[in-house]
C-alpha cells in the first residue's frame, strides 16, 4: 500500500486527465492521497476531487490552507473564507487538517 502525502491533483495541468491519473494511482497500489489546498480559490476544488474519487482511493483526504507563497496576495476575505471553510468541513471525514501553510 502506498500513500502520497502531498499531491496537487487540483493543479490545472492534471484536471484534463484526472480520471486517468486516479485510475493509474489506484492500479499502482496507491491507497491514500492527501490533497493540500494552497489558496482560498482551491478549497472547493480539493473538496470536490476528494469526494468525486473517494471510492477509487480509500484514504483520499484534503487540507485547507494558504501557502506562504500566496500570503502576500491573500486578502482579509481569503482568511475569512479559510475560517468559514474549516468550520464547514470539520465534520467531513475527508477533511484532515490545516495546510498547506508552509510549516
Whether 19 maps to a domain, the answer reads yes
Encode pLDDT of 13-26 as tens digits. Answer: 999 999 999 999 99
The stretch 50-62 carries a mean pLDDT of 97
pLDDT above 70 coverage of the chain, percent: 99
Q: What is the mean pLDDT of residues 6-34?
A: 96
Q: Which three cell numbers stand for residue 103?
A: 510549516
| pLDDT for position 31 | 96
Contact indicator for 14, 8 with CB cutoff of 8 Å: yes
What pTM was estimated for this model as a whole?
A: 0.93
The average pLDDT across 46-50 equals 98
How many separate domains does the chain show? Answer: 1
User: Is residue 103 one of the residues assigned to a domain?
Assistant: no
Q: Is the dihedral of CA 79, 81, 84, 85 positive or negative?
A: negative
At 102 the pLDDT is 77
Q: Could you list the residue range(s) of the whole structural domain that residue 14 is in?
A: 2-98
What is the C-alpha to C-alpha distance for residues 34 and 98, in angstroms, rounded to an integer? 12
CATH code of the domain covering residue 46: 3.20.20.140
Amino acid at each position: 500500500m502506498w500513500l502520497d502525502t502531498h499531491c496537487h491533483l487540483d493543479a490545472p495541468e492534471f484536471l484534463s486527465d484526472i480520471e486517468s491519473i486516479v485510475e493509474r494511482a489506484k492500479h499502482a497500489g496507491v491507497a491514500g492521497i492527501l490533497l493540500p489546498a494552497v489558496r482560498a480559490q482551491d478549497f472547493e476544488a480539493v473538496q470536490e476531487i476528494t469526494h468525486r474519487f473517494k471510492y477509487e482511493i480509500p484514504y483520499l483526504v484534503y487540507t485547507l490552507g494558504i501557502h506562504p507563497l500566496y500570503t502576500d496576495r491573500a486578502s482579509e476575505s481569503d482568511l475569512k473564507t479559510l475560517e468559514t471553510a474549516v468550520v464547514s468541513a470539520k465534520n467531513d471525514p475527508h477533511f484532515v487538517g490545516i495546510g498547506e501553510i508552509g510549516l
